[in-house]
Chain A
Amino acid sequence: MTVWHVILIASSAVLAIKLIGYVIPPSLLERPTPARVANLLTVALLAALTATQTLESAGHIVLDARVPAIVLAAVLYALRVPFIVVVIAAAACAALVRLLGWL
């Protein structure tokens, strides 16, 4: 499996899910359980990705400059700062902490 295979298989799957929604009858939506599972699935995956992206390093849990950066990001999101500004601020925070040699 190459990176191209990964990209093309995953892209086809994501696109197929979007298209399937236009051909199957919308009655599934009227049942609350599938809709709730799909919404919570998104929440769980994004939360798990946030955690691993913040803490994982070569198969281990490591507390480094990413931790203060994600705390700053959470505070800025709570203050309703726009996405792109928060992402840049988090990167700058981590870069600064590393430059100063704190973590």
Chain B
Amino acid sequence: MSAAAPAPQAAPDATGAAVRAALGVGIAVSAYGVSFGALAVASGLDVWQTCVLSLFMFSGGSQFALIGVLATGGVAAGPAAIASATLLGIRNGLYSMRMSPIVGGPWWRRLLAGHWTIDESMAVGTAQPTLRGQRIGFWVTGGVIYVGWNLMTLVGALLGDLVGDVRMFGLDAAAAAAFLGLLWPRLTARQPVAVAVAAAVIAAMLVPWLPPGLPVLVAAVVAIAVGVTNVLGGRGA
């Protein structure tokens, strides 16, 4: 779930521009809820479990990570699956801090905003020039994706139930392509590219030596080492 907001058009009406950006991003992102639903069922979850993940967790990267680790390690890899999903969710906390002054209002509004704070709602929201546009962009994007992502998850899970052999339809390769798609928009500078390459190599090298799920967690240490020392970083984040 990392589609960038389309370039803001020079529209006189900031509200209309925010709604258009929100609908464009929201509908495109919702569509690949189908791939999550199908892959979740293929990894051994039932339709209910798949839908609860999209309803309750509602964060694409974390959801894909959870089912990816469960698919290779089963319930025995449960702790590693939880850790992977949680670590991938940390960025949402930063988005929340960024959105908090924009959302404002009573506690129940912040509670709902928290649930809907994801890559896309933050990106569309903060890309708008006015406070009103920022609020509209955030809420419309979050709402459209929440409804669409959950509907498409259900469709994908039901379709996945019909598909028998995962490998014959290339669904294992689809999962790899999904992770790459979430990663791709983040490879914008030398530092993230170097971290990505190092993490991929370390995780692959550790696969024969560690239980499923752990190679991914060990590879994450690269990010902490590079992030704290800021090697290859240039100026700031």
Contact = CB atoms under 8 A, between A and B. Distances in A.
B227 A73 contact: no
A74 B100 CA distance: 35
Contacts of B144: none
B131 interface: no
Given A21-B114, A52-B204, 12 more contacts: A3-B78, A13-B86, A17-B89, A33-B230, A36-B233, A39-B186, A45-B84, A48-B202, A54-B176, A56-B72, A69-B177, A95-B169
Contact of A36 (B68, B113, B169, B227): B227
B182 A46 contact: yes
A1 B198 CA distance: 32
A100 interface: no
A49 B75 contact: no
A50 B28 CA distance: 22
B233 A73 contact: no
B62 interface: yes
B49 A3 contact: yes
B168 interface: yes
Contact of B183 (A8, A47, A96): A47
Given A45-B216, A87-B181, A61 B207 contact: yes
Nearest to B187: A43
B203 interface: yes
A26 B31 contact: no
A15 B237 CA distance: 25
A46 B52 contact: no
B7 interface: no
Interface string A15-40: 10111111110101100111111111
Nearest to B39: A87
B237 A51 contact: no
B174 A46 contact: no
**Chain B contact surface mostly:** helix
A9 B216 contact: no
**Chain A contact surface mostly:** helix
B237 A39 contact: yes
Contacts of B215: 48, 52
A15 B57 contact: yes
B162 interface: no
B235 to A, nearest CB: 9
Contacts of A90: 170, 173-174, 176-177
B97 A21 contact: yes
Contacts of B203: 47-49, 51-52
A51 B177 CA distance: 10
Contacts of B170: 65, 69, 90-96, 98
B112 to A, nearest CB: 10
A87 B114 contact: no
Interface string B195-222: 1111111111001100010011001101
B66 interface: yes
